[in-house]
Amino acid sequence: MPKNVHPIIQKFIPLVSVIAQTFGENCEVVLHDFSDLKFSIAAIENGHVTGRDNTSSMTEISYNKVVEGNIDKDIINYTGKSKDGRVLKSSTSFIRDDNNEVIGCFCINFDITELVGARKIFNDIIKIESDLVLSKDEIDDENKVNTVLSQLVNHAIQEFGKPIVYMSKEEKVAIVKKLDSQGTFLIKGAIDYVANVLCVSRYTIYNYLDEIR
């Protein structure tokens, strides 16, 4: 915990425990004081979700936002994953002083790994079918690339009905095979994107593709 916590930040400390207790052990709540970015955590509950404690630093996405000065808007309901591949739903709200200067942030990281696993049941019930195969026009349209890539990868993963952390090598190979058949790897940056999502290296993806082909 920082030696000197800003008085405004201090007022938020009781909320950390209240929110964590309300939503349970899968909900990590973190309060940051930006007066010392290296040791910014003023309070934390359920730190096991991301493997942090009050001597740890903030997440990379929040740190980059602060360093770059891109903190005009809160970051709400973004997704990420822990170091061991668990799926997180996160929000970051920036705290300002009386002069409207950002002095810290309030973060929530919710482990939704088990909920993602349960999603397969709901998908089976509602029978959603949305197989995608890329056309040349879609590949060349830069405005659609990120959206199409995300849709392809998410749909392929959802078919297995389990979080990445629980997947075997064979299941990951099957995902890569499906994505390859849809032309996913024709998209610039797809190798790195898929590797990041599957929690493997880009060289592992190349090995999977060699094995498939």
- What is the sign, positive or negative, of the torsion defined by CA atoms of 166, 172, 178, 183? positive
Domains detected in the chain? 7-111 (3.30.450.20), 115-212 (no CATH)
- C-beta neighbour count of 190 within 10 angstroms: 19
The DSSP symbol for 88 reads E
Q: Residue 1's pLDDT is what?
A: 44
Query: Rounded to an integer, what distance in angstroms lies between the CA atom of residue 121 and that of residue 26?
Result: 21
Instruction: Please tell me the number of Cα atoms within 13 Å of 140 on its side-chain side.
Output: 3
The DSSP symbol for 186 reads G
In tens digits, the chain (213 residues) has pLDDT values of 445 889 999 999 999 999 999 999 999 999 999 988 888 999 999 999 999 998 887 777 677 777 777 778 888 998 888 878 888 999 999 999 999 999 999 999 999 988 877 777 666 665 545 555 555 555 455 545 577 888 888 888 888 878 888 889 999 999 999 999 988 888 888 999 999 999 999 999 999 998 887
CB 56 within 8 A of CB 41: yes
CB 62 within 8 A of CB 92: yes
- 94-115 pLDDT, tens per residue? 999 999 999 999 999 999 988 8
Q: Residue 134's pLDDT is what?
A: 55
Query: Rounded to an integer, what distance in angstroms lies between the CA atom of residue 73 and that of residue 140?
Result: 31
Contacts of 177 (CB under 8 A, 6+ apart): 208, 212
Q: Residue 41's pLDDT is what?
A: 94
**CA-CA distances (angstroms) from residue 37 to 76, 94, 99, 140?**
21, 14, 20, 41
